[in-house]
Amino acid sequence: MKHEIPKLDANGLRQFGLVTGAIIAVLFGLFFPYLFERPWPIWPWIVFAVLAAWALIAPKTLEPVYQGWMRVGIAIGKITTPIVLTLVFIIAILPGAIILRLSRKDPMRRKFDGTATYRIKSRQPSVKNLEKPY
């Protein structure tokens, strides 16, 4: 499936530059050094300053950076989506299926009996249900 990268106007590109720079600064300049007890690097703040200045002065020239960033994001998404969905299947669905198979439960009632009827009679609602319908 081909993903369309949306075109952004000057305000959108300005926002892209500011937000991307801020995220890089916060993650790599504050969060990761604090988390791993490392020295505080200066390079994330330089990247933030360059991106912020670029976004404020000439946002339209950020278009190639934005396009490249989106292409990288799409490529990463194509790789990680199957991995995440496989893990969700293995962790959430597979154990339940194994338990049902071992206990011989058939919640969908898939066993077919040619002589039986499969019509389930409905219950007649009582008058109480009509007193307060909502």
Could you state, in order of their start, the residue ranges of all structural domains in the chain? 10-104
Which CA distances in Å does 110 have to 106, 107, 113? 7, 8, 10
| Burial (0-12, 13-18, 19+ Cβ within 10 Å), 51 | buried
Segment 67-90 mean pLDDT: 96
Q: Tell me what pLDDT residue 22 has.
A: 97
Tell which residue, 71, 52, 49, has the closest CA to residue 62.
52
Q: Is residue 1 scored above 70 in pLDDT?
A: no
| Tokens standing for residue 36 | 């791993």
Q: Tell me what pLDDT residue 35 has.
A: 92
State pLDDT tens for residues 6-34: 899 999 999 999 999 999 999 999 999 99
